[in-house]
């Protein structure tokens, strides 16, 4: 697969290197081994991002390592760390999932299906973005150039079955306010294609309340005039690019109040009793209140998408200046015992470990997954995940723990200006 | 109300539904089908006469529209390409019923509806993808008025069939005494909260915040000897047009009518929401995009009359009266969810 994507401001070269090299990419280039001095990072951390300024701090005394030593009757190694977990009701081999890519050009058929197949092989959940059905179609018969919903699901389930992952992973399908018109969930729920997933308990629906790249704003994509005409009944457009062929297609983010969110989740559970319910929140200042509301209403997972997140196209000002960073979201939500999922600029192990230690059950790979499958459509995401799994095992064992869910805030040194996460008891 | 376990359920509680017949003509010409459809015809005559006698206006129902009733759990609407615009086949004509009350105070349709139900409903014995409703709406009525009318209508119709169609009922092996007993006393009444608690007590895992599931409904139905109402469903289990109780937030002024002997739900109804701002808010609470309800919301801004109403599933009602095993046996041209047929 040719490399066609670019991701300015994202460590694209590093992700592509991982997609090529796998676990070896967790280390400096072997050519400098024994000769180079490798202490400093090539690029410094983003000082506005509390997660980047947080350090992982191993202790000296490790009672949990002693427990593992007793269990094994030998000194534990980092390879003894268990990474399997339960993500939003799905067993997963790694504390990772593939975040949604929407209908924007970067998630074309090849990338969407390639990501699906590799996620299936990994035994991790995959989220399919909102508006894939209204824009790209469900079965894809008439829209040859883009990835259909059914194509992505089939690629995922076939790869999972071929890899012995029948018991792992799951497919999560988003719907937002405006694609309610396309009845994506109703369509899937009543379609024979979905029955194997439903029977296996491996289908979830994700209510998209917002996204990290554009907090408070709905979807924005650029369409040519002909495509805009096709979706004119569903979406508004605006002329912002002059007289050329391109127009801006804009969506409403949908109106939410505490009661609206509560009732939408309850209705999802009522109407689709055989699926898991996920809720994706943008990094709003009341994210803790919203997450608590979602869990109390019966959500199986709440995804918080930090302001660093997003594969989608967004106004530059929003990307730079709007929304809470992921680390701030996590500390505001605190440790709750509920399934919290975190996404936003995650592509390597340290950021993942920090998010997990702050209370996330798993982390989402969005841009990183896209770049990895763009680098290698057969194994790029597999290698990226392999490199992250290696780092996760090393880091978790370094803090003296051997299960991914044993991580906690004590394993981190937070910047002085960041409040430590509160422990909440949610009812 | 006595609630029994599934094991003590009545004749309608079956695990495996009978398969569709090999061909449509075999179904149509079967003596049982013909008897069932003759009873259904008598039922329709009785319904029309009864409602006409109460001053109701019958209208012919709409088949398609830019929107239809979204309040159907899990099912998919059928899209129709209407000169380049996406229209829907009616899942129910509730929105049109409300609109019509500007012209007539008491209306009803015998309305065809299409719902692409989830595949799991193919084995409930009481779901069809294409079916008909006796669809009633009464201006300025309260929920209790609609319930009283539904009870009188069902009792009257059953009594007419018992009087006029004994040969058909005998051919079908219907227990006429059970049917007669069911409609000679007042229907029972329970709340969703009570029904849920009863099911949980029996070990059935009923979610108190959701619609009573198919199995739970069957258990409740099997434990009763006469039809009964379940009232006060929680918000989050029904569509935006079921009115919320102003005195009890989160509780809807609605009802289901459940047949006895395991036959399950016959009808759903409610007092309707008609306030514009409340409708828009409730649409959001049910995950709807208000923009697509343009004509309806324009009407609501100008004023929709207060009302209550209900829809009785005609094939379900026929199945109950005739004692058939599955609801498809009460349809001349049955369409089961997910099953390709004539």
- Same domain flag for A400 and A358: yes
Residue A267 near residue B286, CB atoms below 8 Å: yes
Distance CA A5, CA A2 (A): 9
- Which residue in chain B is spatially nearest to A297 when comparing CA positions? B209
- Same-domain check for residues A91 and A158: yes
pLDDT tens digits, A73-110: 999 999 999 999 999 999 999 999 999 875 545 555 57
Q: Which of B77, B115, B287 to mutate against chain A (most A CBs within 10 Å)?
A: B287
Domain of A158, in residue numbers? 79-218+253-413
Rounded Cα distance between A420 and A335, Å, is: 10
- Structural domain includes residue A302: yes
Interface contact flag, B284 A268, Cβ < 8 Å: no
Q: Which residue has the tokens 């026929």?
A: B318
- A275 in the same domain as A137: yes
Are residue A393 and residue A281 in the same domain, yes or no?
yes
Task: Indicate the number of domains in chain A.
Answer: 2
CA distance A156 to chain B (A): 22
Using CB atoms, which residue from A178, A259, A271 is nearest to B285?
A259
Question: CB–CB of A266 and B236 under 8 A?
Answer: yes
Residues of chain A predicted below pLDDT 50: 1-2, 38-45, 104, 141-146, 427
B289 Cβ under 8 Å from any chain A Cβ: yes
Residue A423 placed within a domain: no
Nearest by CB to residue A255, choosing from B120, B284, B338, is: B284
Q: CA of B238, closest CA in chain A: separation in Å?
A: 8
Minimal Cβ distance to B289: which of A177, A207, A263: A177
Chain A contact set for B280 (CB, 8 A): none
pLDDT value at position B291? 86
| Chain-chain contact of A268 with B287 (C-beta, under 8 angstroms) | yes
**A259/B119 Cβ within 8 A:** no
Residue A242 sits in the same domain as residue A298: no
Pairwise CA distance, residues B100 & A377, whole Å? 57
Low-confidence ranges of chain B (pLDDT < 70): 1-17, 71
CATH architecture assignment, domain B6-330? 2-Layer Sandwich (3.30)
Residue A383 in contact with residue A372, Cβ under 8 Å?
Answer: yes
pLDDT tens digits, one per residue of B59-68: 999 999 999 9
Q: Do B77 and A271 touch (CB under 8 A)?
A: no
- Residue A188 belongs to a domain: yes
3-state secondary structure of B79: strand
Q: pTM of the predicted model, to two decimals? A: 0.87
Q: Measured between CA atoms, how close is B103 to chain A, in angstroms?
A: 30
Give the Cβ contact number of residue A32 at 10 Å.
10
* Contact status of B76 with chain A (Cβ, < 8 Å): yes
CB contact under 8 A, B210 and A274: no
Say if residues A250 and A315 touch (Cβ distance below 8 Å).
Answer: no
- Mutant choice from B66, B74, B77, B86 vs A, greatest count of A C-beta within 10 A: B74
Same-domain pairing of A141 and A228: no
A130 and A189: one domain? yes
Same domain, A239 and A374: no
Q: Best mutation site among A203, A271, A295 for testing chain B: the one with the most B CBs within 10 Å?
A: A271
Q: Quote the minimal CA–CA distance from B118 to chain A in Å.
A: 4
Report CB contact under 8 Å: B76, A233: no
Residues of A in contact with B236 (CB under 8 A): 262-263, 265-267, 269-270
- Give the closest of B76, B236, B337 to A270, CB-based: B236
Candidate from A190, A207, A265 with C-beta closest to B119? A190
> Taking a contact as any Cβ pair under 8 Å apart, which residues of chain B between 252 and 271 contact chain A?
none
Specify the pLDDT at position B157: 98
State how far residue A193 is from chain B, nearest Cα, in angstroms: 11
Q: What SS3 string covers chain A?
A: CCCCCCCCCCCHHHHHHHHHHHHHHHCCCHHHCCCCCCCCCCCCCCCCCHHHHCEECCCCCCHHHHHHHHHHCCCCCHHHCECCEEECCEEECCCEEECCCCCCCCCCHHHHHHHHHHHHHHCCCEEECCCHHHHHCCCCCCCCCCCCHHHHHHHHHHHHHHCCCCCCCCEEEEECCHHHHHCHHHHHHHCHHHHHHHHCCCEEEEEECCCCCCCCCCCEEEEEHHHHHHCCCCCEEECCCCCCCEEEEECCCCCCCHHHHHHHHHHHHHHCCCCEEEEEECCCCCHHHHHHHHHHCCCCEEEEECCCCCCCCCCHHHHHHCCCCHHHHHHHHCECCCCEEEECCCCCHHHHHHHHHCCCCEEEECHHHHHHHHHCCCCHHHHHHHHHHHHHHHHHHHCCCCEHHHCCHHHEECCCCCCCCCECCCC
Q: In this predicted structure, what is the pLDDT of residue A156?
A: 93
Residues A200 and A329 in one domain: yes
Task: Tell me, yes or no, if B284 comes closer than 8 A to chain A by beta carbon.
Answer: yes
B149 sits in which H/E element: helix B143-164
Distance from CA of B9 to the nearest CA of A (A): 24
First to last CA, chain B: 41
How far A320 CA sits from the closest chain B CA (Å)? 30
pLDDT number for residue A421: 74
Do the Cβ atoms of B119 and A192 come within 8 Å? yes
Give the whole-angstrom CA distance, residue A281 versus residue A329: 10
Inter-chain CB proximity A270 and B211 less than 8 Å: yes
Q: Is B237 on the interface with A (CB under 8 A)?
A: yes
Q: Which residue of B has its CA nearest to A269?
A: B210
The per-residue pLDDT for B4 is 36
Domain co-membership, A161 together with A234: no
The verdict on a CB contact (< 8 Å) between B284 and A260 is: yes
Task: With respect to residue A47, please indicate whether it lies within any of the assigned structural domains.
Answer: no
The CATH code of the domain that includes A163 is 3.20.20.70
Chain A residues with CB inside 8 Å of B210's CB? 266, 269-270, 273
Is some CB atom of chain A closer than 8 A to the CB atom of B58?
no
Rounded Cα distance, A378 and A1, in Å: 8
Chain A residues close to B117, C-beta within 8 Å: 190
- Distance in Å, alpha carbon of A291 to nearest chain B alpha carbon: 17
pLDDT computed for residue A187 by the predictor: 87
A129 and A224 in a single domain? The answer is no
Our CA-based measurement puts residue B89 at a distance from the nearest CA of chain A, in whole angstroms, of 14
| pLDDT of the residue at A145 | 45
Q: Is residue A68 part of a domain?
A: no
Q: Is A271 in Cβ contact with B74 (below 8 Å)?
A: yes
* Domain limits, chain B: 6-330
Kindly report, residue by residue over A4-22, the tens digit of the pLDDT: 666 666 788 888 989 998 8
Q: Touching check for B287 and chain A: CB below 8 Å?
A: yes
Q: Which residues of B touch A183 (CB under 8 A)?
A: 76-77
For residue B120, the chain A residues in CB contact (below 8 A) are 198, 274
- Whether B116 sits inside 8 A of A183 (CB atoms) is no
Closest approach of chain B CAs to the CA of A358, in angstroms? 31
Cα separations in angstroms, B190 against B1, B194, B196, B281, B310: 8, 6, 10, 29, 18
Note whether A264 and A367 are same-domain residues: yes
Residues of A in contact with B337 (CB under 8 A): 190
């Amino acid at each position: 697969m040719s490399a066609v994507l670019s991701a300015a401001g994202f460590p694209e070269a590093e992700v592509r290197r991982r997609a090529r090299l796998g676990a070896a990419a967790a280390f400096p280039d072997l050519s400098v081994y024994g000769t180079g001095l490798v202490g400093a990072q090539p690029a410094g951390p983003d000082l506005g991002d509390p997660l980047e300024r947080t350090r992982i701090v191993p202790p000296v005394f490790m009672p949990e390592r002693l427990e593992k030593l007793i269990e094994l009757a030998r000194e534990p190694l980092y390879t003894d760390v268990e990474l399997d977990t339960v993500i939003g009701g799905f067993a997963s081999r790694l504390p990772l999932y593939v975040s949604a890519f929407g209908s924007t050009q970067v998630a074309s058929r090849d990338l969407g299906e390639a990501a699906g197949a590799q996620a299936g092989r990994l035994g991790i959940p995959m989220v399919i973005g909102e508006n894939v059905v209204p824009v790209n179609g469900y079965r894809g018969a008439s829209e040859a150039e883009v990835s259909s919903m059914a194509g992505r699901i089939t690629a995922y389930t076939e790869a999972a079955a071929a890899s012995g992952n029948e018991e792992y992973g799951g497919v999560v399908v988003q719907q937002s306010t405006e694609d309610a018109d396309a009845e994506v969930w109703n369509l899937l729920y009543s379609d024979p294609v979905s029955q194997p997933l439903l029977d296996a308990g491996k289908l979830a629906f994700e209510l998209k309340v917002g996204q990290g790249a554009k907090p408070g704003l709905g979807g924005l994509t650029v369409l040519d005039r002909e495509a805009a005409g096709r979706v004119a009944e569903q979406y508004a457009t605006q002329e912002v690019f002059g007289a050329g062929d391109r127009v801006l297609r804009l969506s409403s983010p949908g109106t939410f109040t505490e009661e609206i969110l509560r009732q939408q989740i309850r209705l999802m559970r009522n109407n689709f009793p055989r699926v898991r319910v996920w809720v994706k929140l943008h990094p709003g200042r009341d994210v803790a209140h919203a997450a608590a509301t979602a869990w109390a209403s019966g959500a199986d997972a709440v995804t918080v998408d930090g302001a660093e997140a997003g594969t989608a196209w967004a106004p530059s000002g929003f990307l730079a200046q709007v929304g809470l960073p992921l680390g701030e979201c996590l500390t505001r939500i605190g440790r709750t015992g509920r399934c919290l999922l975190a996404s936003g600029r995650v592509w390597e192990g340290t950021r993942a470990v920090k998010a997990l230690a702050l209370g996330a059950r798993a982390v989402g790979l969005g841009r990183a997954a896209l770049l990895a499958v763009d680098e290698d459509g057969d194994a790029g995401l597999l290698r990226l995940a392999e490199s992250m799994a290696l780092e996760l095992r090393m880091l978790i064992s370094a803090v003296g723990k051997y299960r991914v869910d044993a991580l906690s805030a004590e394993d981190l040194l937070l910047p002085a200006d960041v409040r430590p996460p509160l422990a909440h008891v949610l009812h | 109300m006595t609630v029994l376990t599934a094991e003590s359920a009545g004749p309608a509680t079956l695990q495996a539904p009978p398969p569709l017949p090999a061909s449509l003509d075999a179904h149509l010409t079967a003596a049982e089908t013909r008897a069932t459809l003759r009873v259904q015809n008598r039922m329709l005559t009785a319904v029309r006469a009864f409602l006409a006698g109460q001053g109701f206006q019958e209208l012919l129902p709409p088949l398609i529209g830019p929107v239809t009733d979204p309040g159907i759990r899990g099912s998919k609407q059928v899209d129709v390409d209407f000169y380049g615009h996406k229209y829907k086949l009616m899942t129910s004509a509730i929105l049109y019923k409300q609109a019509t009350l500007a012209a007539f105070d008491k209306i009803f349709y015998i309305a065809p509806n299409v719902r692409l139900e989830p595949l799991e409903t193919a084995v409930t014995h009481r779901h069809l993808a294409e079916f008909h409703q006796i669809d009633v709406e009464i201006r300025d009525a309260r929920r209790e008025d609609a319930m009283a009318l539904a009870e009188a209508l069902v009792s009257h119709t059953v009594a007419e069939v018992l009087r006029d169609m004994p040969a058909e009922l005998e051919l079908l092996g219907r227990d006429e005494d059970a049917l007669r007993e069911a409609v000679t006393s007042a229907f029972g009444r329970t709340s969703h909260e009570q029904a849920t608690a009863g099911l949980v007590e029996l070990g059935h895992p009923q979610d108190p915040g959701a619609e009573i599931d198919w199995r739970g409904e069957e258990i409740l139905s099997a434990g009763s000897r006469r039809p009964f109402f379940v009232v006060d469903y929680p918000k989050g289990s029904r569509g935006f047009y079921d009115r919320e109780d102003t005195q009890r937030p989160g509780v809807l002024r609605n009802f289901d009518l459940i047949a006895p002997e395991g036959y399950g739900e016959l009808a759903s109804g409610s007092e309707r929401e008609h306030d514009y701002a409340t409708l828009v808010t409730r649409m959001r609470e049910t995950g709807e995009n208000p923009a697509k309800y343009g004509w309806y919301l324009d009407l609501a801004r100008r004023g929709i009359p207060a009302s209550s109403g209900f829809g009785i599933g005609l094939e379900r009602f026929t199945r109950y009266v005739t004692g058939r095993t599955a609801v498809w046996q009460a349809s001349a041209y049955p369409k089961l969810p997910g099953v390709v047929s004539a």
